[in-house]
Amino acid sequence: MMKNATVGARLAAGFGIVIALMLAVAAVGAMRMWALHDEVERFAGDRVPKIEKVGQWEIAVLNSARHMRSFFLLPPDEGKAELDGIRKDKQERTELFEWFNKTAYSPDIKQALQQIAEVRSQYLPHEDAFLKLADAVDMDAAKKVLLEHARPAQLKLLSAVAKLRDLEIKHGAEDADRAAASFKTGIAMLLGLSIIATLVALGAAVAITLW
């Protein structure tokens, strides 16, 4: 059929083949770009905020411990500010705990949060007891609660939050690796298709000329 075709028909067929190949390369490129976009968005929009917030959680626990220690080093009128700081940190910790429970979706993160919930339930009564005694300026009883109960529970809570942080960092690294792999795969596919498209276009040009 190509032997009997006019020059215009042959050129049209050749351009049609080239355009089809270009569209195929563009389609594959677009799909790979969207895949890379999804990976980057998951990393920047989900993982990074979680790593930041788990750091805030650790700081809030450490600040509560610092306020408890500082309370005994200051006069009663100045010590009240330390107790207010503990209450503020407590509220922040509660908000962070609720936020993570709403946004967690992987099994290991949920398990880490469950461990935090258990340790947290053990710590909070000791914190409340300390605040009650400190408000009453019962220094000896407050110090006993701090040393025997609150401080050990704080260390357990800090360890549990640190485990969550390590998991979030691990998932962040995995997301980054997937994004890099998606980029490399996309580049390889585009190069491969471009080479194939070039060879097919050359073959079509030769065939049109000979036929």
Average pLDDT in the chain: 85
Minimal CA–CA distance to 113: which of 155, 154, 59, 54?
54
Q: What percent of the chain has pLDDT over 70?
A: 86
pLDDT score, position 37: 66
**Dihedral sign, CA of 145, 87, 137, 129?**
negative
Question: What's the rounded Cα separation, in Å, for the pair 28 and 33?
Answer: 9
User: With 90 as the cut, is the pLDDT of residue 206 above it?
Assistant: no
Could you tell me how far CA 101 lies from the centroid of its own chain? 14
Q: How confident is the model at residue 143 (pLDDT cuts 50, 70, 90)?
A: very high
Q: Average the pLDDT over 143-169 and give the result.
A: 95
Read off the pLDDT of residues 163-181 as tens digits, 9 standing for 90 and up.
999 999 998 888 777 777 7
**153-157, 165-169, 204-208: which range is least confident on average?**
204-208
CA-CA distances (angstroms) from residue 37 to 30, 32, 40, 50, 189? 10, 8, 5, 19, 17
Question: What's the rounded Cα separation, in Å, for the pair 78 and 108?
Answer: 43
Q: How confident is the model at residue 195 (pLDDT cuts 50, 70, 90)?
A: confident
Stretch (H or E) spanning 186: helix 151-210
User: With 90 as the cut, is the pLDDT of residue 26 above it?
Assistant: no
Minimal CA–CA distance to 97: which of 112, 117, 115?
117
At 3, give phi and psi (nearest 5°): -65, -40
